[in-house]
Structure 1
């Protein structure tokens, strides 16, 4: 399923970030490739997530989906779907905010670095396989296995500075 970005020769690499209908189509393909169904509810949660400019909590997304559907959607249902999206690489969890963002290149698996603006809440996702690879190697050298780095840097974005 998808491309393992660690196979790239270069340490920093770019992606074709998808948005709109292209992102939804790619997400649906990745989810069905993983053997999961693309239900109406999952589609609505993904759309609500993809429409956000900043990370959203399950409560934020439940509210957005409730508005789209015209009936209340429980945050617990949204949490289960978000867990599935994270497992299948359709979304990323911003740990320090307990919130989620859509993965704009769902077919590519790699470790992410998030830059989080403390002023406006914007999250920028960058890739640096040399940096995250060094973290994984340091963990392995300390006897850890199956390590997946979660790197979040907080500061002020260019627009807010």
Structure 2
């Protein structure tokens, strides 16, 4: 992955710890951790690949034993992205749980064209350079989302 000296390292949460970290981050943002939001986050967190709102609506519908509309899931996912509980993979129109919901960082995704695996890395030097270039062009409030497509180590 090249020079990772400028990468930001932090504690990765998983399982119940991830759910608790997500709940704490959402409540800190002034939002309620409802049963539906918990179910959507749980369905997202158990996946190791980016998931669409339709995939998640199907999972939550099965879990709850009644149909959940994808529009409801989209609204929750938008909230999760705004509050840093999830990341949106733009090129796949899909979402990943953020394994460190307390940290605010810009996204760099490495996406495998073969298996669909998406790996999230942080490199503040790289995203900082993009923000500086945007400011120079007169843009404010920029949050970079960088997506690199290729073939992961398992598939290559």
Which residue of structure 2 aligns with residue 3 of structure 1? none
Gap runs ≥5 in structure 1: 1-9
Superposed displacement of residue 11, structure 1: 2.6
The 5 Å alignment of 1:147-158 reads 147-158=142-153
Q: Check if 1:135 corresponds to 2:130.
A: yes
Q: Following superposition of structure 1 onto structure 2, how do residues 110-125 of structure 1 map, counting pairs within 5 Å? A: 110-125=105-120
Aligned counterpart, 1:146: 141
Tell me which moved more, 10-19 or 110-119: 10-19
| 1:28-66 CA-partner distances (Å, limit 9, x unpaired) | 000011111100000000000000110001000000001
Structure 1 residue 18 corresponds to structure 2 residue 13: yes
Partner of 1:6: none
> Who is 1:61 aligned against?
56
Match of 2:98 in 1: 103
Q: Runs of at least 4 residues of structure 1 off by over 4 A?
A: none
Distance in 1, Cα, partners of 2:116 & 2:10: 23
C-alpha distance in structure 2 between counterparts of 1:56 and 1:79, whole Å: 12
Matched pairs, number: 152
Q: Distance in 2 between matches of 1:88 and 1:102?
A: 12
Give the CA deviation at 1:112.
1.2
What secondary structure, in the 3-state scheme, does the structure 2 residue paired with 1:35 have? coil
Unaligned runs of 5+ in 2: none
User: What is the SS of the residue equivalent to 1:108?
Assistant: coil
